[in-house]
Chain A
Amino acid sequence: MIFPSCKEVSHLVSQGLDRELGVGERMRLRLHLAICNGCTNFKRQMEFLRKAMLRLGSE
Chain B
Amino acid sequence: MEDFRSRVEAERAYLLRYASLQLRDRHAAEDAVQETLLAALAGESGFAGRSNLRTWLTGILKHKIVDAVRRASRDGVAPDPGDEADLDALLYDRRGHWAEPPAAWPDPDASLEQAQFFAVLELCLERLPAKTAQAFMMREHLGFETADICKELGVTPTHCWVLLYRARAALRECLQTNWFQK
Q: Which residues of A contact B (CB under 8 A)?
A: 5-8, 10-11, 14-15, 17-19, 36-39, 41-42, 44-46, 48-59
Does B43 touch A at the CB level, under 8 Å? no
Q: Which of B95, B109, B175 contacts A5 (CB 8 A)?
A: B95
Query: Known contacts A18-B164, A50-B140, A57-B18: does B97 contact A6 (CB below 8 Å)?
Result: yes
Q: How far is the CA of A6 from the CA of B101 in the complex (A)?
A: 9
Does B161 touch A at the CB level, under 8 Å? yes
Q: Give the interface SS of chain B, mostly helix, strand, loop or mixed.
A: helix
Give how many B residues have a beta carbon under 8 Å from the other chain's beta carbons: 38
Give the residue name and chain of the B residue nearest to A37 (CB).
B101
Does B55 touch A at the CB level, under 8 Å? yes
| Chain A residues whose C-beta falls within 8 Å of the C-beta of B102 in the assembled complex | 38-39, 41-42, 45
| Chain A residues whose C-beta falls within 8 Å of the C-beta of B146 in the assembled complex | 18-19
B118 and A48 contact, CB distance less than 8 A: no
B98 and A38 contact, CB distance less than 8 A: yes
Q: How far is the CA of A11 from the CA of B96 in the complex (A)?
A: 11
Does B108 touch A at the CB level, under 8 Å? yes
Q: Which of B101, B104, B111, B171 contacts A44 (CB 8 A)?
A: B104
A7 and B91 contact, CB distance less than 8 A: yes
Q: How far is the CA of A6 from the CA of B160 in the complex (A)?
A: 20
Q: Give 23 pairs: A residue, B residue, CB < 8 Å, sorted on A.
A: A7-B96, A14-B168, A14-B169, A17-B164, A18-B146, A18-B164, A19-B157, A19-B161, A36-B101, A39-B98, A41-B102, A41-B105, A42-B102, A42-B172, A44-B104, A44-B105, A45-B175, A46-B168, A48-B108, A50-B140, A52-B118, A53-B141, A56-B121
